[in-house]
């Protein structure tokens, strides 16, 4: 197939290290999409129980961060990083606070400044997720799952 040939040529031009990084980034994006679904579902559940747009978002972010850490550990960066799982989770959450700042800041600005987004907060969640994704990938790859150490607990 022509598409396979084109992909193969692209990967050959990138070389093995960049191809591996591209694969990780694409898996990170898939995991992020799952995290987005968790984030949105928990936000709407939080709204239903009265947490409000901002408190609900903090809870939904923590739920999504835990989900994405687990999936990134098991799939995106399998076999990378080391140390106890709880320590790695804590480092993931701390390192991803940079992405959270972009994520939550984008969300809060849109909810506060765009009435349509306040009525449909999923738009703010999506915009925030995109704003934080690249920074989260770079920081997670380097500080949480850095190196090519085997395992972790």
With 50 as the cut, is the pLDDT of residue 148 above it? no
What residue segments make up the domains of the chain, in order of their start? 23-144
With 90 as the cut, is the pLDDT of residue 95 above it? no
The CA distance from 27 to 21, in Å, is: 10
* pLDDT at site 147: 54
E-state strands within 1-153: none
Pick the more confident residue, 63 or 5.
63
Q: Which of 6-10, 15-19, 21-25, 103-107 is least confident? A: 6-10
Pick the more confident residue, 14 or 95.
95
Pick from 60, 94, 61, 88: nearest CA to 74: 88
User: What's the rounded mean pLDDT across residues 80-95?
Assistant: 87
With 80 as the cut, is the pLDDT of residue 36 above it? yes
User: What's the rounded mean pLDDT across residues 132-139?
Assistant: 86
Which residue has 């995290």 as its token pair?
A: 35
- Contact between 129 and 60 under an 8 Å Cβ cutoff? The reply is no
Positive/negative CA dihedral, 37, 57, 64, 115: positive
Which residue has 């984030």 as its token pair?
A: 39
Which H/E stretch holds residue 45?
helix 2-48
Single pTM value for the model: 0.71
Question: How many CB atoms within 10 Å of residue 93?
Answer: 16
The CA distance from 127 to 33, in Å, is: 12
The CA distance from 104 to 106, in Å, is: 5
With 50 as the cut, is the pLDDT of residue 74 above it? yes
% of the chain at pLDDT higher than 70: 90
With 80 as the cut, is the pLDDT of residue 110 above it? yes
Pick the more confident residue, 48 or 135.
48
With cut-offs at 50, 70 and 90, classify the pLDDT of residue 84. confident
With 50 as the cut, is the pLDDT of residue 101 above it? yes
């Amino acid at each position: 197939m022509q598409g396979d040939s084109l992909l193969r040529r692209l990967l050959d031009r990138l070389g093995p290290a960049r191809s591996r990084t591209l694969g990780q980034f694409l898996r990170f994006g898939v995991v992020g999409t799952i995290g987005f679904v968790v984030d949105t579902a928990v936000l709407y559940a939080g709204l239903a129980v009265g947490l409000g747009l901002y408190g609900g978002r903090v809870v939904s972010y923590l739920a999504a961060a835990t989900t994405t850490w687990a999936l990134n550990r098991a799939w995106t960066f399998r076999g990378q990083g080391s140390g106890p799982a709880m320590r790695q989770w804590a480092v993931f959450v701390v390192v991803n606070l940079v992405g959270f700042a972009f994520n939550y800041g984008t969300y809060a600005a849109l909810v506060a400044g765009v009435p349509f987004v306040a009525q449909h907060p999923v738009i703010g969640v999506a915009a925030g997720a995109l704003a934080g994704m690249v920074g989260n990938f770079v920081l997670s790859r380097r500080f949480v799952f850095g190196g090519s150490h085997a395992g972790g607990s």
